Structure 1
Amino acid sequence: MKPNTTIVADARKTRLSPRNRLDWYLLAIVVLISCVAIIPFYLLVLLALKSPIGGLAAIRLMPDFHFVNFITAWQRSALGKAMFNSLVMTAGGVGLLVFLSSMAGYTIARFPGKLNRTIFTILLLCMMIPGIINTVPLYTLLIRLKGINTYWAMICVMAVNAMPFAIFLYSSFIRAMPVSLEESAIIDGCSWFEAFWRITFPLIGPVTSSVVILQGLGMWNNYAQAVFFLQDKAHRNIPLSISLFFQQYGADWPLMAAAAFLGLLPAVAAFLVFQRYFVEGITAGALKG
């Protein structure tokens, strides 16, 4: 009877427990969602590598490896200049955003007076207002300031639009940090301003990484403001250049896909490189909150 009893016991152990079954179900759902998310990118690459002969009806599951499409799209769409413009505006916007939002979040978190609470409430309300609504007043203002077709105007517009969410992240994270760190620095002779930049700012690196990635990708892909404020060809960013390229070569699907892939590649590469910091920032913010 012992061998049979052992076999039955082993069979019971090999059965999936409810917990293991749930894990397998969740894994299957994650794989399915990942496949659904990857399919558009695969179709984009497939179309970008397709030979122009045959049209869309000739698309197969395996690409034609027609890499000439990328060279042609790069030359005809002037993506090199557009990437430089996007890089300058994104770097400037993110830098200005981090500089101002971190200090504003620190002030709101460490000095919760009536005025600061009112300002914070207004900023939260601004998060519910679409940025496209203020485009007409901004356009009128930038005409008077001679900011149309300039880097500094787009940098300021994108940074200000992203500021409410960034201040919310910074203030929530700093509020959960012990104030004794800054008080020790102040006792040693630092001002609140010096204590922030020397003590607090290096400790809020995870939140800064999240702000840089989230808002940086949004600035890189900005189209709603760029289509109004960047009318000059020499100052167009990636989304605007690709949009105009689509209008010009609307019938050439392989060229359009190649241009879209080239414009998407820097943002995807940056996200993959800084993905670890992004996850750490989101996790740290959740734990602190």
Structure 2
Amino acid sequence: MRGGVSLRYGVLVLLAVMVLVPFAGIILAALHPPGSQLNGLSIPDQWSWENFTLAWERGNMTALMRSSLLIAAFVVPLSVVLATLAGYGLAILRVWGHRTLSFGFVMGLTLPMELIVVALYFNLREVGLTNSYVGIILAEAALFMPFGVYWMQTHFSSVPEELVEAARIDGARDLVVLARVLVPISWPAITTLSVLYLMWSWNQFMLVLVMMQDPDRRTAPSGLGLFVGEHTTDIPLLAAACLIVIAPIVVVYLLFQRSFVSGITQGAIKG
């Protein structure tokens, strides 16, 4: 028994080291003087913070961060609301054809971005939504929908039917049941889905690269791709730019860590 526990902890420690060592390497690289040549994981002789200022200015991070925040600010609430309504309709209301619709959303999980991004570009171009925030927001919300609907449908399927029936006996309509009964007990699942949506929206690269031709209106990850091409040899500057781009996601995860883990664990136990 003790051997099994020790083995599990050993595996977790090993996985943590595999994740944290490269991350520590990026931090140390960003603190080297600009233009330094690095050989693996090394501690800088002179700590330099100017790489972050240079990366912010040369990478036009103000405009890129603004675009990323603007897109995520619309994508996350829109996607979460639609996924919650769809999951409620499929799991609780059992709308006509709910089995077929559920299967369709599951099949949507198998579609890779590379397969549909070109066709999506031509479709949005026909309605004038390329090179615009609206097009990016609608495209991301649609692409994230299969997982969100599946996630919320699975969660609502685990809710005791007696709870819903009791609310209906008291005269509550469908939307009232959702808003006042199910949503308050579903915050872990909703919070987890929101954090996942924020991560996916923030890290979206290919979609933005194809849909948005204006460099000043691209998001931070897509702008980082161009920044890497321009400063290939300056490793400290690239490391600082990478840390700037991933910092908001790290902060969000740390703020919602308990709710995120609670939602993941709850889904695993109920599943």
Structure 2: distance between partners of 1:31 and 1:283: 20
Partners of 1:50 and 1:59 within 8 A in 2: no
Equivalent of residue 215 in structure 2, options 207, 215, 233: 233
Shift of 1:58: 9.2
Change (3 A) 1:63 1:140: farther
Matching of residue 183 in structure 1 with residue 165 in structure 2: yes
1:69 to 2:45 alignment: no
Structure 1: runs of 5+ lacking an equivalent: 1-18
When Rg is computed on C-alpha atoms for both structures, the one with the higher figure is 1
CA contact (8 A) 1:49 1:63 kept: no
User: Cα distance, 1:122 vs. partner?
Assistant: 0.9
Q: Is the 8 A contact 1:50 1:64 kept in 2?
A: yes
Shift of 1:62: 4.5
Partner in structure 2 of residue 127 of structure 1? 109
Q: Partners of 1:121 and 1:72 in 2: how far apart?
A: 49
CA deviation vs aligned residue, 1:249-281 (integer Å, no higher than 9, x gap): 122111111111111111111111111111110
Q: After superposition, give the CA deviation of every residue in 1:141-169 in whole Å (9 maximum; x if it has no partner).
A: 11122111222211111111111111111
In the other structure, the counterpart of 2:198 is: 216
User: Compared with structure 1, are the counterparts of its residues 105 and 59 closer, same or farther at alpha carbon in structure 2 (3 Å cutoff)?
Assistant: closer
Task: Give the letter aligned to residue 208 of structure 2.
Answer: A
Change in CA separation of 1:247 and 1:176 when aligned onto 2, cut-off 3 Å: same
CA drift of 1:22 comes to 2.6
What is aligned with 1:104?
A: 86
Q: Which of these residues, 171, 174, 178, is aligned with residue 196 of structure 1?
A: 178
Q: How many residues are matched? A: 271
Q: 1:94 to 1:24 in 2, by over 3 A?
A: same
Alpha-carbon distance in structure 2 between the residues aligned to 1:173 and 1:58: 45
- Alpha-carbon contact 1:46-1:63 (below 8 Å) kept: no
Match of 1:279 among 233, 240, 261: 261
Contact 2:36 2:236 in 1 (8 A): no
- Partners of 1:127 and 1:144 in 2: how far apart? 26
SS in 1 for 2:33: coil
RMSD of Structure 2 on Structure 1 (CA): 1.8
How much has 1:57 moved relative to structure 2? Answer: 4.5
Q: In 2, Cα distance between the equivalents of 1:74 and 1:135?
A: 29
Q: 2:6 pairs with 20, 24, 27, which one?
A: 24
Residue by residue over 1:103-128, the C-alpha shift from the partner in whole angstroms, topping out at 9 and shown as x without a partner, is: 10001002335511101101111111
2:99 matches 1:117: yes
The amino acid of 2:204's aligned partner reads: N
Contact 1:102 1:170 in 2 (8 A): yes
- Structure 2 counterparts to residues 15-94 of structure 1, below 5 A: 19-52=1-34, 54-57=36-39, 60-62=42-44, 64-94=46-76
Shift of 1:37: 1.0
Q: Indicate if the aligned counterparts of 1:108 and 1:120 stay in contact, CA closer than 8 A.
A: yes
Gaps of 5+ in 2: none
Is the aligned partner of 1:252 residue 2:259? no
Q: For each residue in 1:1-28, what CA deviation from the matched residue of structure 2 results, as whole angstroms up to 9, or x when unmatched? A: xxxxxxxxxxxxxxxxxx2233223222
Give the C-alpha shift of residue 178 in structure 1: 2.1
The 1:82–1:63 alpha-carbon spacing in structure 2 relative to 1, beyond 3 Å, is: farther
The letter of the residue matching 1:240 is S
- Inter-partner Cα distance in structure 2 for 1:33 and 1:63: 29
CA drift at 1:140: 0.9
Matched residue type, 2:80: V
TM-score by length of structure 1 reads 0.88
C-alpha distance in 2 between matches for 1:147 and 1:54: 43
- For residue 244 of structure 1, report the CA deviation from its aligned partner: 1.0
Cα separation, 2, equivalents of 1:105 and 1:210: 15
